[in-house]
Amino acid sequence: MNAQAPWRVLIADDHPIVRMGLAGMVAANSALSLVGQADSGEAAVQQYRQLRPDLVLMDLRMPGLDGVAAIEAIRTLDATARIIILTTFDGEEDIYRGLRAGAKAYLLKDAPHEQITDCIQAVMRGQRYLPPPLALKLADRLEADALSRRELEVLRHLATGMSNKEIARVTGITEGTVKFHVTAVMAKLAVKSRTEAVAVAIRRGLIAVEPGPRRD
């Protein structure tokens, strides 16, 4: 790694045990130096503004400002910011949103320390890093036609078990339009039923609710 000054690292994660583990990993590596720890997205942005670290290890889901929003804010402050997402979430949409926001790499928290070190080295060389299993998930996400905002809204209501008539009532559109959106969602997700559409959407991270019983 860098033979000169250690790379200055900021850790952003709302779980103290995770921060402790990452801090220990940084302390054990002479090429790294821990300069700050944040327990929320807001704190991460504030500390980045003050500390200007060389690298940020960012959790994806935090209270308040989440990881994606924090990445976008940091990249607004510094377009060259090097950010690695470390998370437990591996849905296609999570990966896509994280990288689109400006993260240079995406790793799961259970990754071996050796893999995290390899990732840090790659990012500090100006490269991107995405393990093969996550790269395949991202490919699936990019290959699928993007759902519109309305289609995602209808899909979320489907996941709660609403009928087309109920969705029409809460969204202010006609029942026929709801049926049109449901058909479009099923085609874009390459599924044959509403239940399967919800299951695929949850697996891909498109929606974060649990499917309820169908009532139509």
d(C-alpha 98, C-alpha 69), whole Å? 9
Least confident among 16-20, 184-188, 193-197: 184-188
**pLDDT digit string, tens, across residues 135-174:** 777 766 665 557 888 998 999 999 999 999 999 999 999 9
Phi and psi at residue 34, to the nearest 5°: -80, 120
Residue type, 158: L
SS (H, E, C) the chain: CCCCCCEEEEEECCCHHHHHHHHHHHHCCCCEEEEEEECCHHHHHHHHHHHCCCEEEECCCCCCCCHHHHHHHHHHHCCCCCEEEEECCCCHHHHHHHHHHCCCEEEECCCCHHHHHHHHHHHHCCCCECCHHHHHHHHHHHHCCCCCHHHHHHHHHHHCCCCHHHHHHHHCCCHHHHHHHHHHHHHHCCCCCHHHHHHHHHHHCCCCCCCCCCCC
**pLDDT digit string, tens, across residues 77-116:** 999 999 999 988 877 777 888 888 899 999 988 888 889 9
Residues of CATH 3.40.50.2300 domain(s) within the chain? 7-141
d(C-alpha 127, C-alpha 148), whole Å? 32
pLDDT beyond 80 at 208? no
Higher pLDDT: 94 or 23? It is 23
Exposure of 100 by Cβ count < 10 A (0-12 exposed, 13-18 middle, 19+ buried)? exposed
Matching CATH number, 7-141, of 3.30.450.20, 3.30.2290.10, 3.40.50.720, 3.40.50.2300:
3.40.50.2300
The domain 149-204 having CATH identifier 1.10.10.10: the answer here is yes
pLDDT of residue 206: 79
d(C-alpha 88, C-alpha 86), whole Å? 7
Distances (CA, A) of 211 to 61, 90, 197: 21, 19, 10
Residues of CATH 1.10.10.10 domain(s) within the chain? 149-204
